[in-house]
C-alpha cells in the first residue's frame, strides 16, 4: 500500500542514493568548507579565475566521459592536447593569418588519431588501454619531431583573446566549456547517438542484436575525444600564451579522476557529463584548498588520491546496498 508519505520517502531515498546528487552535494560541501576556512576567497572574481584554470581539463574530461561510457578509456588525451598546444603556436608563428592552416593541420592529425583509436578498439578488438597508449606515444613523437625538442612560438592574438578575455562578464574559455558541456549533455540525453553510447557501454551484444551500429559508435566516441582534446589545447595555449613543454601532462589521469568522481561507472553504461562537470570542479577546488593551506604538490596528489578512493568506496557501498 503506497501512501503519499511512503512515496515521498522513497523519492527522497532514491535522490540520496543518486550519484549525481552525491557528487554535487560533495561539491557544495567543498565550496562551503573553502568559504569557511578562507573567508573572502569565494568572491566572484576568484571563483571565475579558478574555474578558468580548470577549463582545459574540463573539456578533455567531457571527451573521456564519452569514451568511458562505452566501456573504453582514452590514454592519449594528454598527448593529443599537448600536440595541439605545441603545434598551434609553432604553425601560426604567432600570427592570426595562419590560424586556418594551422587549425586544419591539427584537425587532420587529431581526426586520424581518433580514427586509429576507434578502429583499433572497435574493429580489431584491441584493448583501449593498449591502443590509446600506443597512439599517445606516436603523437608525442610527432610533436617533438616537428618542434625539434624546443617549444617555440606564442599564441596568435585571436586565440590569446579567447583564452584570457571576458565576454559579458564571463571568461570566454568558460563560456566555451559551458557550450561544449551543454551540447554533450543534450546529445547523451536526447539523441540516438547518446542512447547508442549508453547501450554499447552497457551491453554490446544486446546492442548488436537490436541493430545498434556498435563499431561505428565506438569509433565516434574516440574521435570526439580527440577533437575535444584539440579544443582544450587551443584554449590552453590561449591562456598561457607561450608554448612551453614544462607543463606536466597529467591531463590523462586528471580527466579519468574527474569522470569517475563524477559518477560515471568505469565499466561503462552509466553516468554522464553532468557528473563529470562536478567531478572536475571538485578536483579543482580541492587542489585550491590545499594550496591555501600551503600544502605541497605531493601532498595534493595524496589528498586527491584519498578523495578518489573515498568516493569510489561510497559508490560501491551504494551498490552493495542496492543488491540487498
Query: Using CB under 8 A as the criterion, which residues of the chain lie in contact with other proteins when the complex forms?
Result: 10, 190-196, 198-199, 202-203, 205-213, 265, 269-270
Looking at beta carbons only, is 298 or 323 nearer to other proteins? 323
The least distance separating other proteins from the CB of residue 194, rounded to whole angstroms, comes to 8
Among 194, 181, 187, smallest CA distance to 277 is for: 181
The least distance separating other proteins from the CB of residue 215, rounded to whole angstroms, comes to 11
Looking at beta carbons only, is 75 or 212 nearer to other proteins? 212
Looking at beta carbons only, is 170 or 208 nearer to other proteins? 208
Copy the grid coordinates of residue 257: 579522476
The least distance separating other proteins from the CB of residue 174, rounded to whole angstroms, comes to 27
The least distance separating other proteins from the CB of residue 196, rounded to whole angstroms, comes to 8
Looking at beta carbons only, is 175 or 270 nearer to other proteins? 270
Copy the grid coordinates of residue 103: 587549425
Looking at beta carbons only, is 146 or 208 nearer to other proteins? 208
- The DSSP string of 125-174 is ---HHHHHHHHHHHHHHHHHHHHTTS---B--HHHHHHHH-EETTEEHHH
Tell me if 87 sits within 8 A of 106, measured CB to CB: yes
Which residues, including other chains, have CB under 8 Å from residue 31's CB and lie 6 or more apart?
Answer: 42, 285
Cell 591562456, residue located: 239
The least distance separating other proteins from the CB of residue 3, rounded to whole angstroms, comes to 15
Looking at beta carbons only, is 149 or 211 nearer to other proteins? 211
Count the alpha carbons within 13 Å of 57 in the hemisphere toward its beta carbon. 27
The least distance separating other proteins from the CB of residue 114, rounded to whole angstroms, comes to 20
209 burial type by CB count under 10 A (0-12 exposed, 13-18 middle, 19+ buried)? exposed
Amino acid at each position: 500500500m503506497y501512501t503519499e508519505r511512503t512515496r515521498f520517502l522513497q523519492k527522497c531515498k532514491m535522490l540520496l542514493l543518486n550519484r549525481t546528487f552525491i557528487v554535487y552535494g560533495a561539491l557544495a560541501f567543498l565550496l562551503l568548507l573553502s568559504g569557511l576556512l578562507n573567508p573572502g576567497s569565494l568572491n566572484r572574481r576568484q571563483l571565475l579565475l579558478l574555474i578558468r584554470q580548470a577549463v582545459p581539463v574540463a573539456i578533455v574530461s567531457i571527451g573521456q566521459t564519452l569514451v568511458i561510457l562505452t566501456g573504453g578509456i582514452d590514454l592519449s588525451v594528454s598527448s593529443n592536447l599537448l600536440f595541439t598546444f605545441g603545434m598551434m603556436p609553432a604553425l601560426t608563428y604567432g600570427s592570426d593569418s595562419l590560424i586556418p592552416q594551422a587549425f586544419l593541420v591539427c584537425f587532420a592529425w587529431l581526426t586520424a588519431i581518433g580514427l586509429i583509436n576507434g578502429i583499433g578498439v572497435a574493429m580489431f578488438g584491441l584493448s583501449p588501454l593498449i591502443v590509446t597508449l600506443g597512439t599517445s606515444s606516436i603523437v608525442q613523437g610527432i610533436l617533438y619531431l616537428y618542434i625539434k625538442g624546443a617549444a617555440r612560438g606564442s599564441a596568435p592574438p585571436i586565440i590569446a583573446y579567447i583564452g584570457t578575455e571576458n565576454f559579458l562578464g564571463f571568461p570566454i574559455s568558460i563560456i566555451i566549456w559551458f557550450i561544449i558541456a551543454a551540447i554533450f549533455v543534450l546529445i547523451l540525453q536526447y539523441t540516438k547517438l547518446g542512447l547508442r553510447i549508453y547501450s554499447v557501454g552497457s551491453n554490446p551484444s544486446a546492442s548488436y542484436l537490436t541493430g545498434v551500429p556498435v563499431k561505428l559508435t565506438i569509433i565516434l566516441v574516440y574521435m570526439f575525444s580527440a577533437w575535444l582534446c584539440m579544443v582544450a589545447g587551443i584554449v590552453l595555449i590561449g591562456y598561457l600564451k607561450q608554448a612551453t613543454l614544462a607543463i606536466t601532462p597529467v591531463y590523462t589521469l586528471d580527466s579519468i579522476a574527474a569522470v569517475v568522481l563524477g559518477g560515471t561507472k568505469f565499466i561503462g553504461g552509466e553516468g554522464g557529463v553532468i557528473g563529470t562537470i562536478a567531478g572536475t570542479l571538485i578536483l579543482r577546488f580541492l587542489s585550491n584548498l590545499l594550496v591555501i593551506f600551503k600544502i605541497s604538490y605531493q601532498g595534493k596528489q595524496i589528498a586527491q588520491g584519498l578523495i578518489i578512493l573515498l568516493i569510489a568506496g561510497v559508490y560501491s557501498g551504494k551498490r552493495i546496498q542496492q543488491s540487498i
